A and B are shown apart, each in its own frame.
Chain A
Amino acid sequence: MMSLLIAILLIGLMSAFFGGLLGYASVRFKVESDPLVDQIDELLPQTQCGQCGYPGCRPYAEAVSNGEEINKCAPGGDSTIKKIADLMGVEAPSLDENHEQDAGPKVAFIIEEDCIGCTKCIQACPVDAIIGAAKQMHTIISDECTGCDLCVAPCPVDCIEMRPIPQTTKNWQWDLNKIPVVEIDQVKS
């Protein structure tokens, strides 16, 4: 029991000592930094993901204060861009294309409870992927749907939504033919 207490005390003392040392060092070796960088850094999500092309949130904050585009933070999304734009007093641009989350393939889906059977979406569909009749509920043959979005706008009750297709081994694009198989003689010549 005694040795247990000593161990706890020791670890506590060591932590306190090192903590004090670091605390002292942080005051003693304080570096004055640009307050704007600190403010921008606080707005960023601190995921340190590097999707902006900088090695972390703080380097990106520094780059922003030096005039870098403010729309490169994908995890932060539009809300972060807006906050930074407010801070910098500039117009909020939309998220950089390169950093937008990949949309992936989608299919249309009819929320059947809301469907009033107006057939407008059937007329809009270019591939006849919607079945149904007047005053009857419609539905979508998802295997036929190309995800073209054309049926979403005509729907008067907004009961069509585009849903992403979950990726499975069946619909994954394997691209097997893209692996170049060439004869060595051809490469050499």
Chain B
Amino acid sequence: MTDYLLLLIGTVLVNNFVLVQFLGLCPFMGVSSKTETAIGMSFATTFVMTLASLLSYLVNTYILTPLSLEYLTTMSFILVIAVVVQFTEMVVHKTSANLYRLLGIFLPLITTNCAVLGVTLLNIYEQHNFFESLVYGFGAAVGFSLVLVMFSAMREKLANADIPKPFQGSAIAMITAGLMSLAFMGFSGLVKI
């Protein structure tokens, strides 16, 4: 139990996917201009990441490894992720119109979020078991959501701040992201895995 908790904290804070491992930077910069959309993106990504890491573990363990086709992991995981995303979109569209309006446009974007593919591949490289994969996927998604929402809140504040002309817009956002990344480096050594 403690192991799983440590793994979760380790993925959320110490090895944060966005700010420490630099995966999934596109949605991090792209959908962080408003907190509301950032929260929508966070929920959608959390759901897809957890489900994708679970499914890709199953595909790898029960299909690819017995046939010794490990070199197909990247390709088949992309397939799995794309299917999970599409399927989720359809189900959400059918079951909840409100949720669909909130998440709708972000769901297809997740397919190209490299953090999702990163999570599934890292699961294999680190040789996680079923539950570890689940926790790792969920932790990565929580870490992503945490920094995305924090970053979007900062950007909303920045929109009203008195920023010198050359730094306005993306420039100050990049600098802020860099500073956040530096801050997250401070977590290294918090958990030893």
A21 and B67 CA atoms in complex are apart in Å by 23
Are A14 and B165 interface neighbours, CB within 8 A? Answer: no
Q: In the bound complex, do residue A29 and residue B94 qualify as a contact, i.e. CB atoms below 8 Å apart?
A: yes
Q: How far is the CA of A56 from the CA of B75 in the complex (A)?
A: 28
User: How far is A81 from B61 in the complex, measured between Cα atoms in Å?
Assistant: 53
Q: How far is the CB of B117 from chain A (nearest CB, A)?
A: 16
**How far is B89's CA from A26's CA once the two chains are assembled, in angstroms?**
10
Cβ < 8 Å to B, chain A residues 1-55: 3, 6-7, 10-11, 14-15, 18, 21-22, 25-26, 29-31, 55
Would you call B105 an interface residue if the criterion is a C-beta within 8 Å of the partner chain's C-beta atoms?
A: yes
Residue B63 at the chain A interface, CB threshold 8 Å: yes
**A25→B93 CA distance, assembly (Å):** 11
- Residue pair A18, B83 in contact (C-beta under 8 Å): yes
Categorize the interface residue count of chain B: 20 to 34
Chain A residues near B83 (CB-CB < 8 A): 18, 21-22
User: Among residues 61 to 113 in chain B, which have CB atoms less than 8 Å away from a CB atom of chain A?
Assistant: 63, 67-69, 72, 75-76, 79-80, 82-83, 86-87, 90-91, 93-95, 105
Check A179–B166 contact: CB distance below 8 A: yes
| CB-nearest residue of chain A to B37 | A55
Q: Are B72 and A11 in contact (CB under 8 A)?
A: yes
Chain B residues with CB under 8 Å of A3's CB are 68-69
Contact: B79 with A15, CB < 8 Å?
Answer: yes
Residue of B nearest to A178 (CB): B165
| Distance of B89 from chain A, by nearest CB (Å) | 9
Return chain A residues, CB-CB under 8 Å to B75: 11
B164, CB-defined interface residue at 8 Å: yes
Distance, CA A31 to CA B63, complexed state (A): 34
Bound CA span A7–B76, Å: 11
B109 to chain A, nearest CB (A): 10
Query: Are A11 and B165 closer than 8 Å at their CB atoms?
Result: no
A10, B63: Cβ atoms closer than 8 Å: yes
Write the chain A residue with the least CB distance to B165: A179
Check A25/B90 contact, CB under 8 A, given A11-B75, A56-B105, A179-B164: yes
B93 touches A29 (CB 8 A): yes
A59/B63 in contact, CB under 8 A: no
Q: Is A180 interfacial (CB 8 A cutoff)?
A: yes
Known: A7-B69, A179-B164. A55 touches B87 (CB 8 A): no
Q: Contacts of A22 on B, CB cut-off 8 Å?
A: 83, 86-87, 90
Cβ–Cβ contact A10 & B93, under 8 A: no
Known: A10-B69, A179-B166, A180-B165. A59 touches B90 (CB 8 A): no
Please indicate the chain B residues that have their CB under 8 angstroms from the CB of A31 in the complex. Answer: 93-94
Point out the residues of chain A lying under 8 angstroms from B87, CB to CB.
21-22, 25
Q: Which residues of B contact A29 (CB under 8 A)?
A: 90-91, 93-95
Which B126-179 residues have a C-beta within 8 angstroms of A? 164-166
Taking the closest CB of chain A, its distance from the CB of B159, in whole angstroms, is 18
How far apart are the CA atoms of A29 and B68 in the complex, in Å? 36
Chain B: CB-nearest residue to A62 = B101
Residues of chain B with a CB closer than 8 A to A178's CB: 165
Residue of A nearest to B92 (CB): A29
Q: Decide: A6 and B67 in contact? CB cutoff 8 A.
A: yes
A-B contact pairs, 8 of them (CB 8 A): A10-B72, A14-B59, A14-B79, A18-B80, A18-B83, A22-B90, A29-B91, A179-B165
A10-B63, A22-B86, A180-B164 given. 4 additional CB < 8 A pairs?
A: A14-B76, A22-B90, A179-B164, A179-B165
8 closest cross-chain pairs (CB), A and B: A29-B94, A18-B83, A29-B90, A55-B105, A179-B165, A25-B90, A31-B93, A7-B69
